[in-house]
Amino acid sequence: MSFDFTLTDFNPAAPRAVYDAWLDGAAHAAMTGGKAAQASPVPGARFTAWGGYISGQNLELEPGRRIVQSWRTTRFTPADPDSCIDVTLEPEAGGTRLTLRHSNVPDGHESYRDGGWQENYFALMKRYFAKG
Sign of the Cα torsion 41, 42, 44, 49 reads negative
| Beta strands 46-49; 66-73: pairing state | unpaired
Residue 83 in domain: yes
* CA count, 13 A, side-chain hemisphere, 59: 12
In Å, the largest CA–CA distance within the chain is 43
Confidence at residue 26, expressed as pLDDT on a 0 to 100 scale: 95
Residue 120 in domain: no
Total tally of structural domains belonging to the chain = 1
CATH number, position 56: 3.30.530.20
Confidence at residue 34, expressed as pLDDT on a 0 to 100 scale: 77
Confidence at residue 30, expressed as pLDDT on a 0 to 100 scale: 95
Q: What is the span of the domain harbouring residue 39?
A: 6-104+126-131
pLDDT along the chain (132 residues), means of 10: 95 97 96 90 97 96 98 96 98 97 95 91 94 72
The model's pTM is 0.95
